[in-house]
Amino acid sequence: MKEKTIPKGSGEQEKLRHLFWKRFRQNGLALIGAFIVIFLFIVALFAPLISPYDPGQIDIKRVLQDPSPEHIFGTDSLGRDVLSRMIWGSRISLLVGFVAVGIATLIGIFLGALAGYYGRWVDNLIMRFVDIMLCFPTFFLILAVIALLEPNIWNIMIIIGITGWMGVARLVRAEFLSLRERDFSVAVRALGAKDFRIIFLHILPNAMAPVLVSATLGVAGAILTESALSFLGIGVQPPTPSWGNILTAGKDNIEIAWWLSLYPGLAILITVLGYNLLGEGIRDAIDPRLKQ
């Protein structure tokens, strides 16, 4: 019978995971951020069950009604229930945030890994391209691209993703520059492993900690960008509910319907704050020396 072997380093990895969760649980602000994010996930996931009304149901008899027990967040200019539209709008915000950050993270990891592993002219070429992309104000670049395309949710996600990968690329490059000279990397290379295997199976898993933090913070930025685009009328288009286009309706009726601006504005604020607190908490738990 073969003797069962324990993978080398598994005990150390378990110790690091335990230390991470211990530090994370001791961070009150991080726990608040995690609670907000989990709450938003639950709301978005169970929107059909939680929503008291159909978000697209028009009722001209209840136009711009004040908040009441019947309509907790009031109604909009078409008599639609604002709370229901905000609940369904949370799905749009989270979808945009995660898909856009997913696209940005994949591009950033791929280019950053190539630059950090190969160095020399590959590094120079990729990093000069990063510098060029950083010269353009991201939001105005997004506006310019959307002006040429149809403003729908898929275009929004793709555009935010392909204009937000530069920070991830720089993080991954910095990690690879350090990790490629470590003993485990040199040993695998000496055994004749191909570059693809070394990059994605050996070095990349050890470089993911700062990427995780960046992605968490990036979700907040993507949600904020989508809300701003929808507020300007070039993001998610009505009748699809999003927090940004609810805010637009509030702008048009700010003097008589304050609730149309207050509640979606608070939702965006709390969501962005939650992801920022969670991201900072993860960062501090991974490496408390980074805490200022």
CB 30 within 8 A of CB 284: yes
* CATH code of residue 186: 1.10.3720.10
Cα distance between residue 279 and residue 276, in whole Å: 5
Q: What is the mean pLDDT of the segment spanning 67-83? A: 88
Confidence of residue 126 (pLDDT cuts 50, 70, 90): very high
Kindly report, residue by residue over 49-66, the tens digit of the pLDDT.
Answer: 998 888 888 888 888 888
Does residue 9 surpass a pLDDT of 70?
no
* Beta-bridge mates of residue 75: 81
Give the pLDDT mean for 151-164.
85
Question: Across all residues in the chain, what is the average pLDDT?
Answer: 83
Residue 5 lies in a domain: no
What confidence category does residue 214 fall into, taking pLDDT thresholds of 50, 70 and 90? confident
Specify if 279 maps to a domain.
Answer: yes
pLDDT for res 288 = 58
The contacts of residue 153 (CB under 8 Å, 6+ apart) are: 92, 95, 96, 236, 240
- What whole-number distance in Å separates Cα of residue 101 and Cα of residue 162? 9
pLDDT at 207 over 90: no
Place of tokens 């309706």: 249
Structure tokens at 178: 């350090």
**Domain-embedded: residue 9:** no
Range(s) of the domain holding residue 263: 25-290
Name the nearest CA neighbour of 229 among 110, 147, 288: 147
Burial degree of 209 (CB within 10 A; 0-12, 13-18, 19+): middle
pLDDT of residue 176: 87
In a domain, 4, yes or no: no
Question: Phi first, then psi: what are they for 81, rounded to 5°?
Answer: -70, 120
131: helix, strand or coil:
helix
Task: Determine contact, residues 266/14, Cβ cutoff 8 Å.
Answer: no
Quickly tell me which residue has 């709390």 as its tokens: 270
Judge whether 91 lies within some domain: yes
Structure tokens belonging to residue 71: 């309509």
- pTM, two decimals, is 0.82
Task: Name the band, by pLDDT with cuts 50, 70 and 90, for residue 8.
Answer: very low
Domain presence at residue 269: yes
Distance of CA 288 to the CA centre of its chain: 23
Among the listed residues 253, 218, 272, 241, the one whose alpha carbon sits nearest the alpha carbon of residue 109: 218
Note whether residue 12 is domain-resident: no
- 32 — pLDDT class (breaks 50, 70, 90): very high
Residue 59 forms part of a structural domain: yes
Query: Total structural domains in the chain?
Result: 1
Say if residues 256 and 107 touch (Cβ distance below 8 Å).
no
Helix axes 208-231, 243-252, angle to 10 degrees: 30
